Amino acid sequence: MREAPAGERRAPVFHALVALTLAAPLPLGAYADWAWASMAAICGALVICRAVSTLTVRAAAVPPAPFVWWSASALALAMLWAALQTAGFMPEGWHHPVWRDAAQALGMPYRGAISLDPSASRESILRVLSYAGIFWLALQYGSDSGRARYALRALAAGSACYALYGLGVSFLGLKRTLWFEKTVYHDAVTATFVNPNSFATYAGIGLLCATAVLRYRFERGAPGAAGLRLRLNYLFAEFMPRNALFLAMWLVLAGALLLSLSRAGAAATALSLLVFFWVLALGRGVRLRKIVLSSIGPALAGAALFLLIGEGLERRVLDTGTDWQRRSEIYAQTLSAIEESPLLGTGLGTFGPVYRSHRSEEIRPGVNMAHNDYLELALELGIPAAVLFVFSIMVLALGCALGVRGRGRRDAVLPAVGIAACTLVGAHALVDFSLQIPAVAATFALVLGVSVAQARRSDRG
């Protein structure tokens, strides 16, 4: 293994990156303009610091795996198209018709673009680039397994603190998010987020990190060749007492997740946990039948936890029909808008104004999200660029899956958590918009970055 320079082992930029990601949920998920802009500026400064350190030979650049280049190329093409959507030099016949109508109505010289709102599109591009910067930094520094594990521990602890705050506010009956009075979601745990679904995704990622940490520590200490009896004895006699703090974090996160009353968030997290353990087992050559049978115990434990504290979530599940009817109307209107410009799109970040021009009278105004990130991307970027955007993440998940095979039990945990995180956010994105919350996207980017770095078959310092 290559010995890293002393300055590189301390990695102040990496610790600043982790601190930035941990702080992102505090200002209401960093959704306000000043919050995400500050996060983007700090991320840009950290990227520059890393580049300077590489140029001064204090830190060697880590060459990405081939699948990372495929991902980067796909995202670069999608973002290039998003930038071209804001440009006035694109063919006038491609421009959104609202620009022509506005010029005629106001009697002003025509100036248009493909994007309905170029300013909003530029802001959205900047957000995506800041998440890409977080991923790149995590990829560079996460090639060291110690730092990768540190990132997971820090995210597990940080998300547990936010979850504990949310539970405390809920149990005390305070209808507040920080110092703001809650106007909606009074019965749901939202921690420092406004929307419980966004908090559910964040708590789910934290739960995955805590699970990965516990699994790594168990595999490190458990007697490998021993029978089931000795491993169970190790679990209860040594492992649980030594890892009581992380077990407590796991329970806090699981409880907060259920009490967020997010049906999709709970379901997506449960699916991601199953994927995490299944991928680990398949990577070790365990037969699928045995994997399914071994999942019965955790499933029963999850059901028991649901019965204990999931009464509110159960009511939400029973109320799914009404909510689904409303969302299906939104999906229908979104599909109608996509059909008008399936290739060119309307500009990244323009769903709100486009939807308001297509919505039916039955749907209440004020809808700014499609509650399906895939449909929203197809509307805004156009179908080809949206496919490139989604492909850029899918290929990273596939790279993590390939990295699980052939590695030791402990080493496989790190790339496996990347696959599970992609499963979580990908499944939840079918019915919600959590990845559009900067704190959630930044946390996901950090987890995916260190996981992809550990998916490399060669061990680099």
**Tens digit of each residue's pLDDT (9 = 90 or more) over 144-159:** 889 999 999 999 999 9
Please count the other Cβ atoms lying within 10 Å of the Cβ belonging to residue 29. 28
Give the pTM: 0.91
Query: Which residue has better confidence, 111 or 334?
Result: 334
State the DSSP code for 284. Answer: T
pLDDT band at 402, cuts 50/70/90? confident
- Are the C-beta atoms of residues 194 and 188 closer than 8 Å to each other? no
Residue 370 pLDDT: 87
Band of pLDDT at residue 269, cut at 50, 70 and 90: very high
Residue 458 above 50 pLDDT?
no
d(CA 315, CA 293): 30
Where do runs of H (alpha helix) occur along 11-144? 12-23, 33-55, 66-85, 97-106, 118-141
More confident residue, 298 or 155: 155
How many helices and strands in the chain, by DSSP H and E? 21, 2
Q: What was the pLDDT predicted at 406?
A: 58
Residue 442 has pLDDT above 60, yes or no: yes
Q: How far apart are CA 130 and CA 43, in angstroms?
A: 6
Length of the chain in terms of residues written? 461
How far is Cα 202 from Cα 22, in angstroms, rounded to an integer? Answer: 11
SS3 annotation, 175-218: CEECCEECCCCCCCCCCCCCCHHHHHHHHHHHHHHHHHHHHHHH
Nearest Cα to 152, choosing from 248, 217, 79? 217
Residue 460: its pLDDT value, please? Answer: 43
Domain boundaries, the chain: 6-454
Write down the pLDDT at residue 461. Answer: 36
What DSSP assignment string belongs to 321-383? HHHHHHHHHHHHHHHHHHHHSTTT-S-TT-HHHHHHHH--TTSPS-----S-HHHHHHHHH-H
Q: According to the model, what pLDDT value does residue 178 have?
A: 87
Using the predicted structure, report yes or no on whether residue 227 has a pLDDT greater than 50: yes
> Is the sign of the CA dihedral 190, 195, 198, 200 positive or negative?
positive
Structure tokens belonging to residue 148: 């990768």
Mean local confidence (pLDDT), 364-371? 75
Once rounded to an integer, what is the mean pLDDT over residues 287-299? 55
Query: Taking residues 424-449, what's their average pLDDT?
Result: 96
Record the tokens describing residue 407, joined without a space: 């590695």
Cα 352 from Cα 356, distance rounded (Å): 6
pLDDT in tens, 68-127: 999 999 999 999 999 999 999 999 999 998 888 888 888 888 888 999 999 999 999 999
